[in-house]
Amino acid sequence: MTGPDLQSAIDRAGSPIQLLWQPGVAPWTVPVVQPEFDGWAAEQTAWRTTVALFDLSFHMFDTFFEGPDVTRLLSEVSANNYNSFAIGQAKQFVPVAYDGNIIVDGILLRTGEESYTLTGVPAAQSWVKYHAQAGGYDVEFSTDPDSSVRTDADPRLFRFQVQGPLAMEVIERLLDGPAPAVKFFHSTTVQIAGRPVRALRHGMAGQAGFEFIGDFADYAAVKEAILAAGAPSGLVQVGGKAYFTNGVESGWIPTPTPAIYTDERLADYRRSLSVFSYEGKKPLNGSFYSDRIEDYYVTPWELGYGRSISFDHEFIGKEALLAARDDVRRTRVTLEFDRDDVRTVLGEDLDYLNSYGRYRIEGADGLAGMTFWTSNIAPVGTVLSLALVDNAQAEPGTQVEVVWGEHPGHGTAPDADLGFPRIRATVQTSPYNEFARTAYRANSEG
């Protein structure tokens, strides 16, 4: 552990909120990958109309788990189904705390009979590693952090996603044959530039495509081959700016607040985490403020993860998660910001915008919900926001207002009139992207 532990930091700050609330915090950026290639707006357009290349090699943590007890460990700390988990398959990993609220999701790939790789923000990985050690499981693990932490070495793996309406013609050219016939979130091994590469049927922008994963030693050769195969189709490389807007339309909320900060049963867990961890340094900001960290927690049901949940085994939080299924009070939606209000509040010539701020949403009867991810989407022509709203406000076409500003935090009433402007918004479905909503997982199982 580096620095003080998370529990000690919370005690010194006075509360989890006083530790985490940081008005006006600068947004996190993708390490190593350049911010723009053809411009963020053109890159957003590419994955909708032609084909785009995403370089995911540098901004995520990977933890590699293996051992005789690995499947039992994972099943006891998450709500996923492990009876139907094939080698080469990936699943959205859904760990919950004792109260049934989510820790953070991730992508769990089964790489062998007794081996898995868990990828994403590190909170879910920390959860599994802690229980592996505390529970005495016969499991070994190692973590490869993202390149904002790993400053003196290359990643262990490269990851490239090829996505868009023309993705399959690029992949067929790349492989000199048909694209692999694998189901969504399943994988197979292919050869690219003479190197073995895992081809995972997956994508983050709500479009058809594959993710290619391999040894980082082959990074340059594989990337060069993809660029060459993509050139006849007008493939566009996606920079860090556009990449951080790509999930808004496909409905994935990437940064829920881990439900770990106050439960006494998790006191030892908090002591195992550094204050410099994701859990200690992932800031909260925006106009939705509460002194209760629990008001920022979310359930997997609210996030739309119901299809990934299985109750056929015992796991931490099972009873609470089962009870929460019948008491889901909020719905994930997309908010489409009024164009005139965007120009008035955010600027006549709004440029790049991407925020994970928790902005207050108000309806006719007051507080209606909060935003989680807000971005300017150039091809749509306005700002979209992924949000959770009360069920009564979730019908598409419902009119709401987003309070745009930075609440100062502790010591000021959550609903204080701070003179912040309101941006009118229309509730739309989530996923907002029609392909993601109707066909994205059409060829999937488990």
Give yes or no for a contact between 81 and 445, defined as CB atoms under 8 angstroms apart.
Answer: no
Q: What is the distance between the alpha carbons of residues 109 and 118, in angstroms, rounded to a whole number? A: 6
Confidence of residue 443 (pLDDT cuts 50, 70, 90): very low
Q: What is the DSSP string of 399-444?
A: EEEEE-S----TTS-TT------EEEEEEE-SS-SHHHHHTTTTTB
User: Token pair for residue 93?
Assistant: 């990993």
Q: What gap in Å lies between CA 335 and CA 399, rounded to an integer?
A: 9
Closest to 241 measured CA to CA, from 29, 26, 25: 29
For residue 44, tell me if it sits in a domain.
Answer: yes
Note whether residue 205 is domain-resident. yes
Q: How confident is the model at residue 439 (pLDDT cuts 50, 70, 90)?
A: very low
Of residues 326, 303, 272, the one with CA closest to residue 431? 303
Cis peptide before 431 (omega within 30 of 0): yes
Q: Two tokens at 329?
A: 């009070």
Q: Give the Cα separation of 444 and 182 in Å (integer).
A: 9
173-210 confidence digits (pLDDT tens): 999 999 999 999 999 999 999 999 999 998 655 567 99
Mean pLDDT to the nearest integer, 241-264: 93
In a domain, 161, yes or no: yes
Specify whether the CB–CB gap between 396 and 430 falls below 8 A.
no
**C-beta of residue 299 within 8 angstroms of C-beta of residue 103:** no
Burial classification of residue 105, based on how many CB atoms lie within 10 Å of its CB (0-12 exposed, 13-18 middle, 19 or more buried): buried
Is residue 159 domain-resident? yes
String of b and e for 321-336 (b: at least 16 CB within 10 Å)?
beebeeeeebbbbbbb
Is position 206 within any domain? yes
Q: Which of 55, 50, 60, 62 is nearest to 34 (CA)?
A: 55
pLDDT of residue 29: 81
- For residue 60, the SS3 value is coil
Bridge partners for 237 per DSSP: 53
Confidence at 383, pLDDT banded by 50, 70, 90 = very high
335 phi/psi in degrees, rounded to 5: -100, 130
Contact 169, 226 (CB under 8 A): no
In a domain, 445, yes or no: no
The Cα–Cα gap between 392 and 436 comes to: 24
Domain that holds residue 196: 40-59+151-243
pLDDT tens for residues 89-135? 999 999 999 999 999 999 999 999 999 999 999 999 999 999 999 99
Cα–Cα distance for residue pair 71/340, rounded to 1 Å: 53
CATH code for the domain of 199: 3.30.1360.120
Contact of 423 with 337, CB cutoff 8 Å: yes
Two tokens, residue 280: 């200690």
Condensed to tens digits (0 to 9), the pLDDT of residues 284-315 reads 999 999 999 999 999 999 999 999 999 999 99
Instruction: Map tokens 């993860």 to a residue.
Output: 305
Which ranges of 232-277 does DSSP label H, i.e. alpha helix?
240-243, 267-272
How many structural domains comprise the chain?
Answer: 1
* Closest-CA residue to 1 (of 130, 140, 105): 130
Nearest C-alpha neighbor of 99 from the set 297, 281, 273: 297
Task: Quote the Cα angle for 117-258-243, to 5°.
Answer: 60
φ, ψ (nearest 5 deg) of residue 419:
75, 15
Q: Average pLDDT over the chain, rounded to whole?
A: 94
Q: Is residue 332 in a domain?
A: no
25-56 residue pLDDT tens: 987 788 899 999 999 999 999 999 999 999 99
Cα–Cα dist 156/43, whole Å: 27
pTM of the model: 0.94
Has residue 436 got a pLDDT over 70?
Answer: no
Whole-number pLDDT of residue 151: 75
Whether residue 174 lies inside any domain: the answer is: yes
